[in-house]
Amino acid sequence: MKHLQTFSITRRLPWTTAALLAGGLVAVWSPKANADTAQLQTLLQRNNCTACHLIDKRKYGPNLNEVAARYAGHAGAVAMLATKIRAGGSGVWGEDMMPPQANVSEADARAMAELILALKP
């Protein structure tokens, strides 16, 4: 009757694999990540950025996951993106042109740049 033993995940998976899977689930769903995305979404809507940009889908300009991937690990990326948000720019994403957004405060531009760069595409 040994073959009729009940299924046990610890018998099927080594404890290290189970721990890694559990850690992966925590990394995928993190309250801080959700709070940061919610804060970014609030700033995007308040400053009318969602007219052209979405976090995970391309609209008129690049989606923000693309921006995060392009500038990941670049020194000075936060300051550069904050300036670009307010001053506008062109040529980086093909023929797309971003008009200046002088109505966006420096604090909001910096906060958005930090939150965009923190995205994990």
Could you tell me which of 47, 53, 40 has the C-alpha nearest to residue 93? Answer: 53
Q: What CATH number does the domain located at 30-117 have?
A: 1.10.760.10
Locate 110 and state its tokens.
């910096």
Read off the pLDDT band of 96 (50, 70, 90): confident
Look at 25 and 40; give whichever has higher pLDDT: 40
pTM above 0.85, yes or no: no
pLDDT digits (tens, 9 = 90+) for 33-77: 555 889 999 999 999 999 999 999 999 999 999 999 999 999 999
> Are residues 113 and 53 in contact, defined by beta-carbon separation less than 8 angstroms?
no
Residue 103: helix, strand or coil by DSSP?
coil
Strand pairing class (94-98; 89-91): antiparallel
Domain boundaries, the chain: 30-117
Report residue 38 CA to chain centroid gap.
Answer: 11
